[in-house]
Amino acid sequence: MKILFFYQYFTTPKGSWGTRAYEFARRWVAAGDQVTVVTSVYDKSDLDPSGLVERLEVDGIDVRVVNVRLSNKHGKLVRLATFFWFALVSSWYALTHRTDVVLASSGPITVGLPALVARYVRRRQLVFEVRDLWPEGAIQLGFLRSRVTTWLARRLEAACYRAAHTVVALSEGMRADILRRFPRVQVEVVTNSSDNDLFGDETPEAEIPENLAGKTLVLYTGTLGLIDDCSQLLNAAACLKRGGRDEFAFVLIGDGKERRDLEERAREEGLDNVHFFGLQPKVEVARWVRCASCMVIPTLEIPFLDTCSPNKLFDAFAAGVPVIQNTQGWIKDLLEREKCGLTVAPGDAQAWANAIVRLAEDEALRAKMGGDAKKVALELFDRDKLAEKMRAILKEAAGS
């Protein structure tokens, strides 16, 4: 099977971003498929092309890197420009590349433009993957405000869903939202997955800096952006500091538009129990996770985020580390059902602090939740199983 894959954020484990696309694609190659990924350059990836478009071979994957740079630190207009430029260049591959099936992974929703070209001009079957509910997320966050741009974005979203043989959602919440608005669309769920090889092996723990030695580590990994609302972690850190709980250290690994403001606030408020470590390769992140008492996943209190499927959640599962988070959708239901983490009310600093203390002090509870998390990673979110499920969806579409 020949697969043409449009995805703007491709990276390998050498980068500092989710590797779902890479891990799935290399498994499809191992199964005998030919996979061409058309991508761009995310500031958290390990790609560094030299020309307008560079062709790379990555573990058998044919990667075409459009040299347009993406960053969450960019302003709205710059980000929109990079999205549309990528869509324009990618449309050339949609017109010319020989393939059996096209996979387009959104957001941004503009990745649907080359997908629609492939579907309606080349008559290729399309599988449309929804990693985030675009444009709804951009609308709720206030990035899209005018009636014209909102109308156009929603029309593009509808066109992508209706053109697809199958829409793949990354959570049950996303699936429910799509079916509520488009009841005739075929929607399957293929969540993000746990890297049980990297996070679940006996990799040595990180070399803890001297000032953190003996501390109970509360770990956050990923983007320090608007939707991640890591200010909640600083609020919890302030609660613990006021309570004299100096044994806790908040470790934030990652980067983003809000990082500078968070660091400045930590300095101004004297929060010496909060530590920023910047971007690190996935291998190093895995070592930090193994040192943590818990993984914390804060988000803004916005409805579309209740459907999110964050990579860090599945990394924690694979490492057998309990999670504390504040979304009120499918993740909350999963943690309650599988007993592998805790959910707190968004914005409630004391609730965050209490949950962190509870997991640290109750070793039996932490061990039980960690064991259940690892079980969930192996039984529900194993990467091999989910890659094969996605491949079956692609094969069915290609065959139709």
H helices within 323-362, ranges in order? 330-338, 349-361
pLDDT at residue 72 greater than cutoff 80 = no
**pLDDT value of position 204:** 62
Cα angle, residue 58 at apex, residues 225 and 195 outer, rounded to 5°: 55
Higher pLDDT, 274 or 134: 274
Mean pLDDT lowest among 90-104, 127-141, 284-298: 127-141
Q: Are 70 and 108 in contact (CB under 8 A)?
A: no
Q: Quick: pLDDT tens for 155-164.
A: 999 999 999 9
Segment 310-329 shows an average pLDDT of: 95
- What CATH code is assigned to 210-379? 3.40.50.2000
First-to-last C-alpha distance (Å) of the chain? 13
Count of CB atoms within 10 A of residue 19's CB? 22
2-193+382-399 is a CATH 3.30.479.30 domain: no
Q: Quick: pLDDT tens for 367-385.
A: 999 999 999 999 999 999 9
Segment 169-175 shows an average pLDDT of: 94
Q: Are 340 and 378 in contact (CB under 8 A)?
A: no
Q: Are 357 and 240 in contact (CB under 8 A)?
A: yes
Residues in Cβ contact with 256 at an 8 Å cutoff, skipping those fewer than 6 apart: 72, 73, 223, 224, 225, 228
Q: Are 131 and 309 in contact (CB under 8 A)?
A: yes
Q: Quick: pLDDT tens for 247-275.
A: 999 999 999 889 999 999 999 999 999 99
- What phi, psi does 228 have (nearest 5°)? -80, -25
pLDDT at residue 114 greater than cutoff 70 = yes
- Pairing between β-strand 248-253 and β-strand 274-276 as defined by DSSP bridges: parallel
pLDDT at residue 75 greater than cutoff 80 = no
**pLDDT value of position 241:** 96
Can you give the residue ranges of every domain in the chain? 2-193+382-399, 210-379
Segment 389-393 shows an average pLDDT of: 98
Segment 74-87 shows an average pLDDT of: 85
**pLDDT value of position 337:** 96
- Read out DSSP for 29-73? HHTT-EEEEEEEEETTSS----SSEEEEEETTEEEEEEEEEE-TT
**pLDDT value of position 369:** 97
If pLDDT is split at 50, 70 and 90, which confidence band does 202 have? low
Mean pLDDT lowest among 11-20, 67-76, 207-216: 67-76
**pLDDT value of position 270:** 96
Q: How many CA atoms lie within 13 A of 77 on its CB side?
A: 0
**pLDDT value of position 187:** 97
Whole-angstrom Cα distance, residue 153 to residue 144?
Answer: 9
